[in-house]
């Protein structure tokens, strides 16, 4: 897909997303699939902005690592959790801001830590989030024997 088509697809996604969240509270923001958040996204400060320029790799590398993780047999899904600041900025521009990344897996946290290498992503931690499905209304199914880990930035 050409860069022009990717940009056009991103613009269409953003317009669709705006209508999707028009009348909801921030705690009801949808979880985004990796492709929804990262495809065509060139805004380096759209996730972990405080780490960009201070060791955090480009979002393209975060996307590549998360896609690789999501393809593993012991990972059910990976989603981007949106920041409460998602929406219109003071200058009128609409911004989709990622807060963290949720990983549904049957693997032990230490195994995912090793695979993700969260510190090299500028992340502070990878933690277990037992009540995740209660917090997010559109949480995908968490299969039996799986749990959700959160890749967190400040």
What does the pLDDT read at residue 1? 65
- pTM for the predicted model, two decimal places: 0.84
Residue with tokens 């999501």: 70
53: domain range?
A: 3-152
What does the pLDDT read at residue 18? 74
CB contact set of 143 (below 8 Å; sequence gap of 6+): 76, 104, 106
Q: What is the mean pLDDT of each run of 10 residues along the chain (154 residues)?
A: 76 76 67 92 88 90 95 96 75 80 95 91 87 78 94 87
How many domains does the chain divide into? 1
Contact 104, 77 (CB under 8 A): yes
């Amino acid at each position: 897909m050409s860069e022009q088509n990717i940009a056009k697809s991103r613009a269409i996604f953003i317009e669709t997303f705006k209508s999707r969240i028009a009348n909801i509270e921030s705690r009801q923001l949808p979880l985004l699939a990796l492709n929804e958040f990262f495809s065509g996204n060139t805004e380096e400060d759209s996730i972990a902005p405080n780490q960009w320029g201070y060791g955090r790799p480009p979002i393209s590398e975060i996307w590549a690592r998360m896609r690789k993780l999501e393809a593993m047999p012991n990972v059910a899904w990976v989603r981007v959790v949106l920041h409460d600041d998602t929406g219109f900025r003071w200058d009128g521009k609409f911004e989709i801001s990622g807060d963290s990344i949720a990983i549904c897996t049957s693997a032990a946290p230490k195994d995912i830590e090793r695979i993700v290498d969260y510190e090299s992503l500028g992340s502070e931690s990878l933690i277990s989030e037992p009540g995740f499905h209660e917090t997010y209304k559109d949480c995908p199914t968490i299969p039996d024997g799986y749990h959700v880990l959160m890749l967190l930035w400040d």
